[in-house]
Chains A and B, each alone.
Chain A
Amino acid sequence: MRVLRALLRKEYLQIFRDKLLLRQMIMMPFIQLFLLSTAATFEVKTARVYVVDRDHTSMSRGLADRLTASGRFAVVGSSLSMLPANEAMLGRRTDMILNIPPGFERDVVRTRTGSIQLVFNAEDGALAGVTNSYAQQIIAAYARELGVTVTHRIDESPRIEMRTRGWYNQELDYKHYMIPGILVQLLTLVGTMMTAMNIVREREIGTLDQLNVTPISRSAFIGAKLIPLLSIAIFEFAAGLVVARWVFGVPMVGSIPLVFLAALVYLLVALGVGLWVSAIVHTQQQAMFVTFFLLLVYLLMSGLFTPVRSMPDWAQWMAELNPVKHFIVIMRSVLLKGATFTDILRPLGILAVSGAIVLTLSVRQYSKRAA
Chain B
Amino acid sequence: MISTLGAFMTKEVRHILRDRQTLTVLLLMPLIQVVLFGYALRSDVRDVRLAIVDPSPDYATLALRDRLQAARRFRIVATGRSMSDIEPLFRQGRADLAVSFEPQFAARLESREPARVLIAVDASDPNTGSTMQAYARAVITAYEQELGAKGAQPVRIAPEVRMRFNPTLESVNLFIPGLIALVLTLVSALMTAISLSREKERGTLEILLVSPLRPWQIIVGKVFPYLGLAFANVLTALVAAWLVFNVPFRGSVTLLLVESILYSMVSLAIGVLVASLTPSQRVAMLVALLATMLPSTLLSGMVFPLASMPKVLQVLSNIVPARWFIVIARGIMLKGVGLEHLWKETLVLIGMTLFFMMAAVRSFKARVA
Contact = CB atoms under 8 A, between A and B. Distances in A.
Interface of A: 20, 24, 28, 31-32, 35-36, 38-45, 63, 89-92, 108, 112-130, 132-133, 135-137, 139-140, 142-144, 146-147, 150-151, 153, 155-170, 172-174, 176-177, 281, 284-286, 288-290, 292-293, 296-297, 300-301, 305-307, 309-312, 315, 318, 329, 332-333, 336-340, 343
A182 to B, nearest CB: 11
Contacts of A305: 41, 303
A337 B91 contact: yes
A43 B128 CA distance: 11
Contacts of A300: 37, 40-41
A286 B334 contact: no
B309 A301 contact: no
Given A43-B308, A157-B144, 11 more contacts: A120-B164, A159-B115, A162-B119, A167-B121, A285-B198, A285-B281, A300-B40, A301-B40, A310-B44, A339-B93, A343-B91
B16 to A, nearest CB: 12
Interface string B15-49: 00000011001000100110011011111111100
Contacts of A296: 33
Chain B interface size, under 10 / 10 to 19 / 20 to 34 / 35 or more:
35 or more
Contacts of A43: 126-127, 308
A165 B137 CA distance: 12
Most-contacted residue by chain A among B126, B148, B170 (CB, 10 A): B126
A314 to B, nearest CB: 8
27 contacts: A36-B298, A42-B308, A45-B308, A112-B156, A118-B161, A119-B162, A120-B161, A125-B171, A143-B155, A151-B152, A151-B155, A157-B144, A158-B151, A159-B113, A159-B115, A160-B116, A161-B117, A162-B137, A163-B117, A166-B120, A176-B124, A177-B124, A289-B25, A292-B289, A310-B43, A338-B91, A339-B92
Contacts of B194: 285
B310 interface: yes
Interface in B112-150: 112-131, 133-134, 137, 140-141, 143-144, 147-148
B173 A125 contact: yes
A163 to B, nearest CB: 5
B167 interface: yes
B163 A310 contact: no
Contacts of A173: 126
Contact of A38 (B47, B130, B310, B341): B310
